Structure 1
């Protein structure tokens, strides 16, 4: 979707929240892997544009159609601005993250910066400086043709000449813009010195140029970060706003997906089938044991089916992104809707089970109601943050803000849902000392302690271990992060269903038939044959009130 169309949609402000959310959903599938970024009045010194994993014959195309620098008239030196293309070993850590904020990467001959594109507004040229032994990294002006050659190498006849203002009044500017026509000869000489010179167009007080990069061998494969730098704004207190419009197109031989994203289509499809099979099996268990089925059991079934549908739409989205460079908007909307429902159902189900609703008591306490009043709005905010992030380019000004909001809200939700489990454990501990049915309370206490450990392991694994693995593995294996997250989620669902299954022989839902007074405490804590069911526990009014 074009930038003007996005602005037209943004001007419409529906009164209802559902319509606004739907608008965000529609915008969520627009950026895709063909990135278009327009920034106006930007003051950042470093703008992370994108990160992409390239295989051999992969290509990167950059079209800077507008760069307007708002520098003061008293400034005599040409501003140091340009792009940096960096290859990193980890996909989530950027090369300049460890540098001093006052240090501009364009001023240093750092070995970590693979290629620098230095924009010289005085001489109307772009100096390309390579660092490291990157002999087969092909850089040429212009964009690649629609159908590249068999070898994947650029063709000089398709190079796009930057637009030069023919009405420029200064003679030096005219003379300096002429070499853009004969760039081939200049590049042929400068390639030997590992430095290229590209032409810089000047039109209506703005600058423009384009280039493309082709990965020529397996030695050049890796995760690349493309950043834009304005060194004039690197010193606090003298930031000057500037405008930039850039188009970025990244492609691998197999499609528009990054190296780590290529297996995700099959991965999400397989996991969708697994969650669907788990949901069908769970429903069959509920239909066979209607005597001990509670509402929470059907909520668990709805969660499994919602998760399966969300992964299905996610998989289809990746298929169209890989083949066309952008998803189908209708499918993207369905993915975000099911993703929102899945996130809300997951935390609601965990909180309900942790509070002992239906298994220990039928009425939620005031503290537990407050927890739900916190978790549900936070989950809505987390999903809105996710949708906004998907609708924004990585270089947008508010992208990092929404990313931090998503991370913080997710941690708060994960910590909050632990409170109902802790309260249930404390309630059962108190009841085991006063209630005559010690076996009932101790078996339930054992159950919720196990569930508490499961929730802790699930949160710890998906939020910490999997992220650390993503940073540690090579760029082409980073899809293992999604595999571990989805696999651990499926394992958590299966274990939760096994613990709380409504079968008659479930040791946690029914009591043994013998008298509880003859059972020793040690045997109760270790005997896996214990059964406790609410239908048998609530025999008296006093016992019912206690469980409430």
Structure 2
């Protein structure tokens, strides 16, 4: 969230603060692909700023407007503060996730490292060190123009040095200070501004050819804090702007606008077809059938707003606030309706019985609050920058809560299967109960496959495929969800010969309730 947005929240009246917490989170919004991160009193040694998939002619702009370090900055000879730009095969894997937390990435060469920006506060300069054969990765001081009048031609930085003119606000490029190097091994040096005990500089990177395309991670490192017992708070304010030739979306996100629009149409068509089926079989329609229809329409609207959200992010670099709010609201409703519908069908409510047992009521008492928490965690993650201190915390909360909900919705199905097994040979309707038992077992397998494909297989696919094909993760998730909706509607459609809809007599129903 931008600093100006946070100040706006602080000026709100007490009456406005009485609004629900969820609406506050929704109105906060996210800054899209133009990121602004302001951290105060930060103690982390490594801060993952962002991950982005670049195509050829894509650009990365970084404006460090404020960096205020502690007194330890003058104790070391080598620079221990700076940025690192790395390229990985998958955007979900961080190159520093398995390294020793006490090692400094700025002092060790790694096969993943491409560029290091070493901030030297003594000499007021930023050393740029390249690793590997990156012939078409152009680095220059300053930012690219907002609306360039002509195509931006990257400058070859080999053998040049950017030195800060103390009388000017922008760095100038000169041929001095070659540091004893020659040819292509000469280092690029950027000017470092110093004002009111804080440092600032900016640079931009242009992906010059297809050989340099890939998933890039930008990290900030303060290796003074990697040493035990020497952690010291620091302040940092940084703006990051990433762009591909087609817009502000990452390579893996460019197809999402069309994908979500198409899937929204599919869910809308499924919902309309389901309503037509309900209108033709009014005698066997129950309340849960209409709940299933509401779920399909809510899912369609949620995907529609998400598609529009990505369209504006791609064109403007940030979403439209009102559309983002609608997307979050429909996403919350969709998540709650999905798990409630699965649990109700698994428990046999409205089909076989009209009253939930005490155990099933406890499951609903757990699933519904957890789903609200999971959606709040999702909204917080969407509205926070990746480098924020609590970003990983909310991401772990979302993952844990989602697993708990997926496990909890299986209990009503298991209890119904066990009840049908016990009652199959006691109430005189063995054939009907066996048919219901078979149907419940099929539904149990369907739920397991749905959870497995959307939570396990999809994540493995995201890790395995190249950076530009990671949108297949969303395709698998939405395709699995659509298939699950269609199969559930087919299994529990309002038909007279459906064994699930053959209600027992009142005395048999009372006996079954006592047994459960």
TM over 0.5: yes
- Confirm or deny: 8 A CA contact 2:37 2:385 kept in the other structure: yes
Q: Deviations over 1:351-408 (max 9, x none)?
A: 1011111222111000100000000000000000000111110000000000000000
CA gap 1:517/1:88 in 2 versus in 1, 3 angstroms = closer
CA gap 1:386/1:474 in 2 versus in 1, 3 angstroms = same
Q: 1:169 and 1:481 mapped to 2: Cα distance?
A: 43
- Confirm or deny: 8 A CA contact 1:85 1:115 kept in the other structure: yes
CA gap 1:511/1:369 in 2 versus in 1, 3 angstroms = closer
CA gap 1:15/1:380 in 2 versus in 1, 3 angstroms = farther
Compute the RMSD of aligned alpha carbons: 5.3
What runs of 5+ residues in structure 1 fail to find an aligned partner? 151-159, 524-548
- Confirm or deny: 8 A CA contact 1:24 1:387 kept in the other structure: no
What is residue 323 of structure 1 aligned with on the other side?
Answer: 315
CA gap 1:269/1:51 in 2 versus in 1, 3 angstroms = same
Displacement after TM superposition at 1:145 (Å)? 1.2
Displacement after TM superposition at 1:503 (Å)? 2.0
Q: 1:165 and 1:484 mapped to 2: Cα distance?
A: 43
Displacement after TM superposition at 1:515 (Å)? 20
**TM-score, normalised via structure 1 length:** 0.85
Match for 1:358 among 321, 327, 350?
350
SS of the aligned residue for 2:385 comes to coil
Displacement after TM superposition at 1:147 (Å)? 3.3
Q: Deviations over 1:409-436 (max 9, x none)?
A: 0000000110000011111111113111
Displacement after TM superposition at 1:3 (Å)? 1.2
| Worse-matched range after superposition: 161-170 or 469-478 | 161-170
What is residue 31 of structure 2 aligned with on the other side?
Answer: 31
- Confirm or deny: 8 A CA contact 2:352 2:503 kept in the other structure: no
Q: 2:366 and 2:443 mapped to 1: Cα distance?
A: 22
Q: Deviations over 1:447-495 (max 9, x none)?
A: 1111000000000110000100000000000000000000000000000
1:388-467 aligned within 5 A: 388-467=380-459
Q: How many residues align?
A: 514
Q: Deviations over 1:166-190 (max 9, x none)?
A: 9999999979999856379969987
Displacement after TM superposition at 1:27 (Å)? 4.1
Q: 1:94 and 1:219 mapped to 2: Cα distance?
A: 21
Displacement after TM superposition at 1:165 (Å)? 26
CA gap 1:439/1:209 in 2 versus in 1, 3 angstroms = same
Q: Deviations over 1:282-322 (max 9, x none)?
A: 00000000111010000000000000000000000000000
- Confirm or deny: 8 A CA contact 1:162 1:200 kept in the other structure: no
What is residue 78 of structure 1 aligned with on the other side?
Answer: 78
- Confirm or deny: 8 A CA contact 1:28 1:388 kept in the other structure: no
Q: 2:343 and 2:11 mapped to 1: Cα distance?
A: 39
Q: 1:474 and 1:289 mapped to 2: Cα distance?
A: 48
- Confirm or deny: 8 A CA contact 1:82 1:116 kept in the other structure: yes
CA gap 1:23/1:163 in 2 versus in 1, 3 angstroms = farther
| Worse-matched range after superposition: 91-100 or 217-226 | 91-100
Q: 2:304 and 2:312 mapped to 1: Cα distance?
A: 13
Displacement after TM superposition at 1:45 (Å)? 0.3
**Residue 62 of structure 1 pairs with residue 54 of structure 2:** no
Q: 1:184 and 1:251 mapped to 2: Cα distance?
A: 32
SS of the aligned residue for 2:113 comes to coil
SS of the aligned residue for 2:165 comes to helix
CA gap 1:229/1:161 in 2 versus in 1, 3 angstroms = farther
Displacement after TM superposition at 1:11 (Å)? 5.7
CA gap 1:316/1:189 in 2 versus in 1, 3 angstroms = farther
- Confirm or deny: 8 A CA contact 2:162 2:171 kept in the other structure: no
Q: 1:61 and 1:420 mapped to 2: Cα distance?
A: 52
Q: 2:324 and 2:468 mapped to 1: Cα distance?
A: 25
SS of the aligned residue for 1:9 comes to helix
CA gap 1:184/1:379 in 2 versus in 1, 3 angstroms = farther
Q: Deviations over 1:325-357 (max 9, x none)?
A: 111100000000000000000000001011111
Match for 2:194 among 194, 202, 224?
202
CA gap 1:53/1:179 in 2 versus in 1, 3 angstroms = closer
Q: 1:422 and 1:220 mapped to 2: Cα distance?
A: 52
Q: 1:494 and 1:261 mapped to 2: Cα distance?
A: 27
Q: Deviations over 1:14-44 (max 9, x none)?
A: 6799933454444453311000000000000
**TM-score, normalised via structure 2 length:** 0.91
Q: 1:455 and 1:111 mapped to 2: Cα distance?
A: 42
What runs of 5+ residues in structure 2 fail to find an aligned partner? none
What is residue 172 of structure 2 aligned with on the other side?
Answer: 180
Displacement after TM superposition at 1:237 (Å)? 1.9
CA gap 1:197/1:275 in 2 versus in 1, 3 angstroms = same
